Amino acid sequence: MIEPLSPVAGVENVPQGETEQIEEIAGLMRQLLEKRYGSAPPCLRGVHPKAHGCARATLTVNADLPDGLRVGLFADAGASYEAVVRFSNAAALVGPDCQDTVKNGVLAARQHGSRGMAVKIFGVPGEGLTDDEPHTQDLLMVNFQVFPFANVADYLVLTRLQLRAESAPPSAPSATAGQDVEPDNVRLFKAFGAELVKTQGGALRATRAREISTAIQSSAMTDPVSSKYFSAAPFMFGTDRVMKFSVRPEAPAADTPLADTLDPDYLRTALANRLRATDVSFELAVQVREPSQEAAIEDVTHDWADVAYQPVARIITPKQDTEDMDLRQRCETLFFTPWHSLIDHRPVGGINRLRLAVYRASVERRRQ
């Protein structure tokens, strides 16, 4: 893996103390993995451990791409690359795809959680950032435009709370009459907001985090290939421009059986049903900021609503069996990180700098 790089001049602004914060978070991640999985294999991913399934895919760059967008992965208009797509839950612990909030023994809300789509593109020409996979480009996305944590300092607060919660004695509340039950992730983000106010005076940040986490929890998903996904964090687009990227499904859901959302693995079932029946295609689009445009690089709670998306490629997943065990097992051995990237698309901003260390801690533990 790559070692930390110097900040991109004129783009990144590294806060004082961030290096130490990243080191602490990586150490906390190792503790969390040890607590969850012990010393014996298998050890699942530190984030996005629950996969709904993987799919073979092809990414094809738009043949009519304007010259100004022919950068990095998109330099060769019309080129096609093999890829693998992994769909997942973002929750740190494997659990039901939906969980319920109960007030006074009555269902108050169904909590849906954040979902992920990770694309690993193979055989990409150009200079890569890493030695282990110099010719792959990983695109990591979630089904919301922004993250509920702004920066590394916020994520440190969240990770400390996560370790504290997972170190507490287990409890199994039941939704009997008069009882309140909240999913773990809902309690975690309530505690996160309270801690931001208490430790950093971040009342506005806490409000923003609560709004984002509430919106994420209320975002219902029919199946993993019928949703938009977003990078949320920024990346370079050549030497002096910055991008975010997104995918959206190009066609409505096919006439396939609807999965039962009470099934704890309903998204796995829904994905299998959809891809057994039909091909699925996504439009990949980028938001590109010019050097003269100010951009929220170090705060990933803000989207770029003022910058239009421009289509650059299509991702096609042909009809296939996502329950094929060889495919599932192969996918679970893959290492996804935004740092598997061409230099032209170098990750930037604090959350991406953090990902370099945290994802490395996760993969090192998984490979033991």
Q: What would the two tokens of residue 247 be?
A: 């995918």
Query: 278: how many CB neighbours lie within 10 A of its CB?
Result: 16
- 10 Å CB burial of residue 131 (0-12, 13-18, 19+) is exposed
Query: Count of CB atoms within 10 A of residue 166's CB?
Result: 16
Give 222's Cβ-side CA count (13 Å radius).
Answer: 14
As a whole number, mean pLDDT of residues 337-354 equals: 97
- Which conformational region is residue 340 in: left (phi greater than 0), alpha (psi within -120 to 50 degrees), or beta? beta
328 or 174: which carries more pLDDT confidence? 328
| Average predicted confidence (pLDDT) for the chain | 88
- Least confident interval from 129-138, 187-196, 221-230: 187-196
- Percent of the chain surpassing pLDDT 90: 62
pLDDT band at 181; cut points 50, 70, 90: low
Least confident of 22-26, 34-38, 327-331, 332-336: 34-38
Contacts of 274 (CB under 8 A, 6+ apart): 223, 225, 226, 253, 254, 256, 280
Whole-number pLDDT of residue 42: 79
- Res. 98 pLDDT band, cuts 50 70 90: confident
Read off the pLDDT of each residue in 310-321 and give the average, rounded to a whole number.
98
Is residue 178's pLDDT more than 70? no
> What is the structure's pLDDT at 117?
98
Tens digits of per-residue pLDDT, 130-160?
999 999 999 999 999 999 999 999 999 999 9
Going by C-beta distance under 8 Å and a sequence separation of 6 or more, which residues neighbour residue 160?
A: 28
Cα(81)–Cα(124) distance, integer angstroms: 7
Element (H, E) at 270: helix 266-277
- Decide if pLDDT at 110 tops 80: no
Q: How many helices (H) and strands (E) does the chain have?
A: 7, 11
CA atoms within 13 A on the CB side of 309: 18
pLDDT tens digits, 37-57: 887 677 788 889 899 999 999
Largest CA distance in the chain: 64
Full-model pTM: 0.92
Residues 6+ apart with CB under 8 A from 161: 188, 191, 192, 195
Q: CA-CA distance, 233 to 240, in Å (whole number)?
A: 17
Nearest-Å Rg of the Cα atoms of the chain is: 20
18-366: which CATH number, 3.30.2320.30, 2.70.40.10, 1.10.150.120, 2.40.180.10? 2.40.180.10
Cβ contact 206:193 at 8 Å? yes
- What are 23's two structure tokens? 């080191």
Residue 167 pLDDT: 82
Q: Nearest-CA neighbor of 222 among 78, 58, 97, 358?
A: 97
| Cα 193 to Cα 86, 152, 162, distances in angstroms | 31, 15, 13
What one-character DSSP code corresponds to residue 267?
H
Q: What pLDDT was estimated at residue 177?
A: 47
Residue type, 261: T
Higher pLDDT, 90 or 313: 313
Share of the chain above pLDDT 70, in %: 89
Residue 360 has pLDDT above 90, yes or no: no
Please state, as a whole number, how many other Cβ atoms lie within 10 Å of the Cβ of residue 269. Answer: 19
